[in-house]
Amino acid sequence: MAGPAAADFDAASYPPYETCALCHGLFGQSRTAKFPHLAGQKPAYVQSQLEAFLSGARTNDGGQMASIVTELKPEDFAVVVEWFSDQEPPEPSPPPADNVGMQLTEYAGCLTCHGENGAENVPHLSAQHAGYLAKQMRDFRDGARSHSDAAELHRKAFVSFGDEIDQVAGYLASLERSP
C-alpha cells in the first residue's frame, strides 16, 4: 500500500517551531555545536535574534537563518519563542580541567550581563555548546558578528582572551542554566 502523496503534505498544519527543530532539535537541544541550544533561552533574546536575521542585521555562515526565518509568518515568532524558551535547559558540559576559562570570564565580567540575572535581551551562555560559543566569540573578535550594540565591547574582550577563547567557552558550557 502506498503512503500519502507528497501533494497531500501540508507544512502549515505543523507548529512553526518544527521548522526550527530541524537544526535546533524539537526541544531546543541541538546535536551539534554548529547550532545553538535554544532550550531555556531568554524569550526576548530569541525574539530579537529572529528579528535580526529577518531584517538582515544578523547573518550566519551559509545564510541558513536568513532563509529559514522568511518561512515563518510574523505571528509564528511568538509561538517559536515561547516553545523554545519554555523547554528544560540543556545539561552543562563537564567542567574544564583548569581554571583559565573561569578566571578570564570573571576578569572580563561576562556573567554580569550573561548570567542568570542579566538583561532579558542578553543570552544565557551557560550550558551552551562550547564549540558554538567559541565560534561566536571569534566572530565578534574578527568583526564577522557586529549587529549588536555591544559588538565592540565583545570584540575588545575577545581580543584580550587571545588563544584562550576555547577555555572560556568550555567554562561557560560547564555552568548550569536555571529554568
Q: How big is the CA angle at 143 (ends 138 and 149), to the nearest 5 degrees?
A: 105
Residue 33 in 3-state DSSP? coil
Place of cell 561566536: 136
For 151-177, what is each residue's pLDDT tens digit? 999 999 999 998 999 999 999 999 999
Higher pLDDT, 13 or 3: 13
Separation CA 26–CA 103 (nearest Å) = 35
Q: How confident is the model at residue 178 (pLDDT cuts 50, 70, 90)?
A: confident
The architecture of the domain spanning 6-173 is Orthogonal Bundle (1.10)
Mean pLDDT of 3-30: 80
Task: Write 117-121 long-range contacts (CB < 8 A, 24+).
Answer: 120/42, 120/43, 120/44, 120/45, 121/42, 121/44, 121/45, 121/48
Could you tell me what percentage of the chain is helix, strand and coil, using 3-state DSSP and rounding each to the nearest 5?
A: 55, 0, 45
